[in-house]
Structure 1
């Protein structure tokens, strides 16, 4: 890549894109595959890990928008390779964020948590955006050596946050300019509902795990006065099976969960 060439016109920008985008296509794919394998090995639940390289149309639009504000060049663009990690619940977002921080070199000055930016009184688009490069150690590996020094963006969001982003931004349903107040209010209300649903799903997941753990404890203490559910019956059968196996073998076994 010849990043030192002076680029002034739309044609220059288009030529830069044509000559430099291919490595970013490979970078997006290899980072997505690497992340997916890491999520599986760490047993972190996720919906999908889609990836993309920036289209030429999107690239040229961003250049035009940025140049209206300040000096900007294609080499300043950090999202030519983009990856998303879509989780089921909010609790897994932080796990994914910790994993990303441990795997890649994160550019903290360019990364942002959109939820924190909203503050306490606003609702809207929520997601965590990381700008990274592969890092000193990983770039020594043959499969990553071609991507030394190249930046990529990873967005981490829940499935409901992703649904909101698709409606509000990615699918182009948002009108150009300011919406009428009554439509804008409905957008904000919808965003608030999705955020509340996200929080409730997260709480339910935690409470279901607590319920299962409490069942195990109650069964071991012969406290069987609880609502009859399939979960309760399964836990009881598992507990009885453990006792039977221990009695037959005379050897302790690990607690079934």
Structure 2
């Protein structure tokens, strides 16, 4: 290389930094597209930066020194524009990556840090190089007048990380890369590796907890749906029951209350009601009286099991105990109201439905059940009002139709 032909560092700086605002404007549009289209269970946060000139220049010297004597235009690197998409959970990384692939033309995908040994330290993340859409390039007019046209080489690097991976990358950058220090001291290296391993383990644990919660929620939804279906059957309004494939969950931590609750709900959903009641009872015996939230939840579940066994007095007792433990347990009031409706104690049912709605007014089914109870008591105007609210809140019109038709006959008009 003829050093006499090299352009100066000062010239390279002037060229590079003249594009700073231009790059920031492009990244703002990339982030906007990501924010509008990437949908995760917990929405990611975004950071962006234009690579500092010092880092840029060092990399040019290392990777593209020949271009310093060939041209006086911008020397392109793949990470001049960098965006971090920071996710809550490990599963979000791959989900986010697949969504990004649908939004941009992908030039390269690289998993950073995956090659490191367990005794080494270094952050892991997925780096995605995306081509900049032409419509994202600001016109070279106004403050950008005089800039050379952008080459097709221009890409933006999107790094996809978890919150903990990003935290480690920030600290690691300050401790090691920023001052070009790679510790030789073995104890120090082990400390850094230990911190990295702890953060990695924390990410894995958070994901396991998330998986457990998601699967448990699916079991709870199935159990609640079965309860509603059974209640419809008791009230002679049985609807077709849709079969649902539920992936059964392995216990997260064996022997814990969460583990027992999951076993009870699985038994409940599988129709092993006596077994479910036994497990719920074991949990109640193990929970201290001061743990009101847990007591409220378990009594509610056991009450639903008793309901499915047609032990309505036991169900009422458990729903009331749930309410005693947590007076904001609006579902327990609702379930208690359903039992009273089955027993044709409509005034008591209405009191329960009303209390449930005082706690949470946005319940379509509760308004619908109260409308049915009002109808049975001959309070047709109140029934019609509740039915109207239920429909506005999203109640299935087909489920409301029988009551609508009855009210039409009573009022002698179309609704």
- 1:11: which partner in 2? 10
Distance 2:76 2:88 in 1: 33
Closer, same or farther: CA 172–63 of 1 in aligned 2, 3 Å? farther
- 1:217: which partner in 2? 222
- The correspondence of residues 138-177 of structure 1 with structure 2, limited to 5 A, is 139=134, 141=135, 143-144=136-137, 146=139, 149=152, 150-169=154-173, 171-172=174-175, 176-177=181-182
Distance 2:123 2:66 in 1: 27
Q: Aligned pair 1:60/2:57, yes or no?
A: yes
Deviation of 1:206 (Å): 1.1
* Aligned-partner SS, 1:102: helix
Deviation of 1:30 (Å): 1.7
Which string of whole-angstrom CA distances, capped at 9 and with x for unpartnered residues, describes residues 125-167 of structure 1? 10000111134xxx2x4x5465773311110000000111011
- The correspondence of residues 108-123 of structure 1 with structure 2, limited to 5 A, is 108=108, 111-118=109-116
- 1:3: which partner in 2? none
Instruction: Supply the RMSD in Å over aligned alpha carbons.
Output: 3.3
Distance 1:85 1:238 in 2: 43
- 1:203: which partner in 2? 208
TM-score by length of 1: 0.76
Residue 88 of structure 1 contacts residue 159 of structure 1 at CA under 8 Å; is this kept in 2?
yes
Deviation of 1:43 (Å): 4.5
Q: Aligned pair 1:100/2:100, yes or no?
A: yes
- The correspondence of residues 233-244 of structure 1 with structure 2, limited to 5 A, is 236-237=331-332, 240=335, 244=366
TM-score by length of 2: 0.49
**Bigger radius of gyration, 1 or 2?**
2
Closer, same or farther: CA 210–44 of 1 in aligned 2, 3 Å? closer
Number of equivalent positions:
237
Residue 44 of structure 1 contacts residue 95 of structure 1 at CA under 8 Å; is this kept in 2?
no
Closer, same or farther: CA 106–186 of 1 in aligned 2, 3 Å? same
Residue 105 of structure 1 contacts residue 133 of structure 1 at CA under 8 Å; is this kept in 2?
yes
Which string of whole-angstrom CA distances, capped at 9 and with x for unpartnered residues, describes residues 191-221 of structure 1? 1111111011011011011112212333444
* Structure 1 unmatched runs, 5+: 1-5
Residue 132 of structure 1 contacts residue 151 of structure 1 at CA under 8 Å; is this kept in 2?
yes
Closer, same or farther: CA 202–212 of 1 in aligned 2, 3 Å? same
* Aligned-partner SS, 1:179: coil
Deviation of 1:45 (Å): 2.0
Deviation of 1:119 (Å): 6.6
Residue 7 of structure 1 contacts residue 13 of structure 1 at CA under 8 Å; is this kept in 2?
no
By relative contact order (CA 8 Å, sep 6+), the higher-ranking structure is 1
Distance 1:19 1:244 in 2: 63
Distance 2:54 2:157 in 1: 18
* Aligned-partner SS, 2:75: helix
Deviation of 1:21 (Å): 3.3
